Amino acid sequence: MTKILVTRRTFPEAAVALRASGAEVVIWEDADAPSQADLVKAIADVDGLYAHITNQVNAEVMDAAPNLKVIAEFGVGYDNIEIAAANERGIAVCNTPGILSESTADEAFALLASMARRTHDLPAMVKRGEWGDFDPLGYLATDIHHKTLGIVGMGNIGAEMAKRAAGFNMNVLYFNRNKRDEEFGATYVDSLEEILERSDYISLHNPLTPETTNMMSTDQFKLMKKSAILINTTRGPVVDQDALYEALKSGEIAGAALDVTVPEPIPADHPLLTLDNCLIMPHVASATGDTRMKMAMMSVENVLAAVAGDWPPYCVNQTEIAGNARIKS
């Protein structure tokens, strides 16, 4: 019998759809994600893996599963999967593109607005009873309208972020590996350095690669305006967190809001959590009921197609494994 492993709990509808295929479906129900050793052990006789960002699906994992045909990632990013190892073994790797772009951009803009208008820290002052008399110079925040937003990475999520900024009459710049047609009035800037120097807000939407790891570090923070705010909803390792802490503490930049960190979860005693000008969310940019349900059903489509011998609809490495695939459509 075909066997499918789901490494985190999922929506009942997704579980029903998987089991309706006639496959044996094992869903990891523990509060914590499987450890690497647990994953290697659990995957031994699995044909399809429905994986999550917390799973490091490397060559060791793949070699423990001689029947594995597909790794269906619940999410658009798949930097937790060793693509080269999957290509060598003829294993399809899939993701859930497009579906979470708007929800992620919603959160990124919400983080920007929260930091700009200080909704992240002023309510706590009220709760502590520190709201004093009216002071025309007190509790000052920063405008959003007519400010400059720099978007690093103009993919689907970056484009959605540009749409939202346009509604606030922001001046939008973007830096991308390749120049695109202007997106919602956004203007292309041909260097990271220039966009950092010119922007009041920087929002990161580029993928995690060896080249983008620690892309934002000490030298980059020095280029930013002292009034600038950094938003990161992409991957934690894109930002050098030690350098960010120093930049925030020293006033090199005004603030930062992160949906992603290194590690995840971030330790409760991490220095960044001591700063009033840093807001950290628990990696929830796509965490709306509607979006997560759509992601789950796309993951189901991917894994069921592959274990049935067909190409998954959202395969990211089909070209690389076409002649060496364990899937025979």
Catalytically active residues, by annotation: 235, 264, 283
Q: How far apart are CA 248 and CA 235, in angstroms?
A: 19
Element (H, E) at 13: helix 12-20
- On the CB side of 235, CA atoms within 13 Å amount to 20
Compute the Cα dihedral for 123, 125, 129, 135 and give only its sign.
negative
For residue 33, give the DSSP letter: P
Cα 274 from Cα 101, distance rounded (Å): 31
Residue type at 271? P
Residue with tokens 């894994």: 303
Question: Coil, helix or strand for 94?
Answer: strand
Distance CA 63, CA 154 (A): 36
If one counts every other C-beta atom within 10 angstroms of the C-beta of residue 140, the result is 8
Query: Are the beta carbons of 162 and 108 closer than 8 angstroms?
Result: no
Q: Tell me which residue of 167, 170, 236 sits closest to 208, measured CA to CA.
A: 236
Q: How far apart are CA 77 and CA 57, in angstroms?
A: 13
Helix/strand/coil for 260 = coil
Asked whether the beta carbons of 52 and 15 are under 8 A apart, the reply is no
Residue 310, C-beta contacts closer than 8 angstroms, at least 6 positions apart: 327, 329
Strands 171-175 and 148-152: parallel
Rounded Cα distance between 49 and 68, Å, is: 7
